[in-house]
Amino acid sequence: MGGGGFSMDDPLLDRFVLDLVDSPSPKVCFVPTASGDSPGYVDKFCAAFTAYGAQPSVLSLFYREVDNIVEFLGTQDAIYVGGGNTVNMLKIWEIHGVDEAMRAAWQGGVVLAGLSAGANCWFDAFTTDSYHVGGADPAVGLGLLAGSFSPHHSSEPARRPAFAKLIAEGTLPAGYACDDYAAIHFSGDAHQAITSRPGAAAYRVSPGEGDTFDEVQLTAAYLG
């Protein structure tokens, strides 16, 4: 998700995630590392997903209570990664072995989801404001999905031009971008754009001729 879900009072994208799981009461683990395990953020997630009929849990790394993270994440139906500082999050994940635990969960068929930092992390590379307020700098992700990603594509002024420039010059590989209230569902070699608000969109951005780029809006399924 480029942005949306429970933190933006957007239940449609969250319910789409839950519908990917064949369970009437799916187990969903929230990973709020990028926000420093913000208690208010955790409370909002748990309240929302309880109301959705899910069984929420939390993997906290600043107040760690889970011993075997690989086993814990592997027993979930879905893992939902929150927004915040992507670069800090990935470094903390590396220290605690969450990066490899995520890979194992993914290989085991657990649904992986998230917004902003929680979308950036799955790709080979992404743009982030982790280094500079209002910035859109390149950084390296987990590489579970090929290519690059840009969240908040139309709502934060620096994102769109920076992503285009980085792809045009070859600093980032071709990739995808999502507005707030837009997402892309990847399954095997297939992908489908979805939106929860009119006007939201997802895009494929690739190098063009010379130092140019091509941005193509993806055909999206509207959930509203």
Just list the catalytic residues. 116, 152
C-alpha distances out from residue 61 to 31, 40, 117, 121, 137, Å: 9, 16, 16, 17, 25
User: Residue 193's beta-bridge partner residues?
Assistant: 184, 220
As a whole number of angstroms, the distance between CA 106 and CA 70 comes to: 11
Query: What is the side-by-side order of every strand in the sheet holding 213-217?
Result: 137-140, 123-128, 145-150, 175-178, 202-207, 213-217
Q: What are phi and psi of 35, to 5 degrees?
A: -100, 10
* CA pair distance 214, 207, nearest whole angstrom: 6
Q: Per the structure block, which two tokens stand in for 30?
A: 């929230």
Where on the phi/psi map is residue 71: left (φ > 0), alpha (ψ -120 to 50), or beta?
Answer: alpha
Cα 218 to Cα 31, 192, 203: the distances in Å are 29, 8, 5
CA angle in degrees (0–180, nearest 5) for 131-61-2: 50
